[in-house]
């Protein structure tokens, strides 16, 4: 996006503020990033717009500015069942996947529209965070991290959950990479983070613990679990 002055950028940011989203703004000169900041938006838009506007003040007209909007859902809890947590298109008749020994070893079971990730515990509560962001950076506290491609058709919601219950996530249609991060809280309870990054990348076990032993070629051909 190109703006003729900092006021235009401030007003655009204010429009986003009512969503309560996280905003990342990159200001570039000659296609080289010279300022990158993130701001927690506010209902009024005044604080965020003023902060970004101040940083843009004095920049020449036509300076190229790129805005990345990230939303963060409120954290929620899921009851893990059968060592898995899943992401799937709501339109699927049979949402969850079967697991072979190879799936267990690599830590996930994937087919188009549905992916299940192996959890640290067989069952128990897990704190869940869902994000949409521009990068595939992994948290230092994650014990496991796996990324897989995921497609969201137009008019179809996405659900995240287990056999004990799911939560609906609304996403713009398109191709994403889902980054699944998994670890433990200070009290040993499990936590899971799902980040939807626009664009498709190859499946990869980014970080593994001693329970995982993925092969050189990952298995991307799961079957639906029997109802």
Q: Tens digit of pLDDT for each residue in 195-207? A: 999 999 999 999 9
Distances (CA, A) of 112 to 109, 116, 201: 11, 11, 14
CA distance 24 to 71: 11
Of all helices (H) and strands (E), which one includes residue 104? helix 101-106
Measure the N-to-C terminal CA separation of the chain; round to a whole number of Å: 48
Answer yes or no: is pLDDT of 8 > 50. no
Q: What is the pLDDT of residue 119?
A: 97
Mean pLDDT for all residues in the chain? 76
**Which of the four pLDDT bands, split at 50, 70 and 90, describes residue 95?**
very high
Q: Is 73 helix (H, G, I), strand (E, B) or coil?
A: coil
Residue 81 is classified by DSSP as B
Bridge partner list, 184 = 190
**Which of the four pLDDT bands, split at 50, 70 and 90, describes residue 73?**
low
Q: Averaged over 160-178, what is the pLDDT?
A: 92
Q: Specify burial of residue 73 (Cβ count, 10 A radius: 0-12, 13-18, 19+).
A: middle
Of all helices (H) and strands (E), which one includes residue 11? helix 6-17
Q: What is the pLDDT of residue 187?
A: 83
Answer yes or no: is pLDDT of 79 > 50. yes
Q: What is the pLDDT of residue 75?
A: 80
Q: Is 129 helix (H, G, I), strand (E, B) or coil?
A: strand
**Which of the four pLDDT bands, split at 50, 70 and 90, describes residue 28?**
very low
Q: What is the pLDDT of residue 133?
A: 83
Strand ranges (E), 81-189? 84-89, 108-111, 114-118, 124-132, 144-152, 158-162, 165-169, 174-184
Answer yes or no: is pLDDT of 55 > 90. no
**Which of the four pLDDT bands, split at 50, 70 and 90, describes residue 221?**
very high
CA angle 105–108–109, rounded 5-degree value = 110
**Whether the Cβ atoms of residue 67 and residue 22 lie closer than 8 Å to each other:** no
**Whether the Cβ atoms of residue 7 and residue 53 lie closer than 8 Å to each other:** yes
**Which of the four pLDDT bands, split at 50, 70 and 90, describes residue 67?**
very low
Of the chain, the percentage scoring pLDDT greater than 70 comes to 68
CA distance 116 to 128: 15
Answer yes or no: is pLDDT of 66 > 60. no
Q: What is the pLDDT of residue 134?
A: 85
């Amino acid at each position: 996006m190109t703006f003729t002055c900092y006021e235009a950028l401030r007003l655009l940011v204010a429009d986003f503020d009512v969503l309560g989203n996280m905003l990342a703004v990159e200001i570039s000169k000659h296609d080289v990033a010279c300022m990158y900041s993130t701001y927690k938006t506010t209902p009024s838009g005044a604080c965020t717009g003023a902060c970004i506007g101040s940083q843009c003040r004095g920049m020449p007209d036509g300076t190229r500015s790129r805005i990345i909007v990230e939303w963060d859902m409120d954290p929620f809890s899921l009851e893990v069942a059968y060592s898995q947590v899943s992401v799937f298109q709501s339109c699927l008749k049979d949402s969850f996947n079967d697991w072979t020994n190879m799936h267990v070893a690599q830590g996930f079971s994937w087919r188009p529209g549905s992916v299940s990730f192996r959890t640290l515990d067989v069952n128990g509560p897990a704190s869940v965070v869902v994000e949409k962001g521009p990068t595939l950076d992994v948290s230092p506290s994650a014990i496991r991290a796996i990324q897989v491609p995921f497609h969201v058709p137009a008019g179809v919601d996405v659900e995240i959950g287990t056999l004990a219950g799911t939560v609906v996530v609304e996403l713009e249609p398109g191709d994403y990479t889902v980054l699944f991060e998994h670890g433990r809280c200070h009290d040993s309870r499990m936590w899971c983070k799902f980040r939807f990054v626009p664009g498709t990348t190859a499946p990869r076990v980014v970080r593994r613990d001693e329970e995982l032993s993925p092969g050189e070629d990952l298995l991307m051909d799961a079957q639906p679990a029997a109802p």
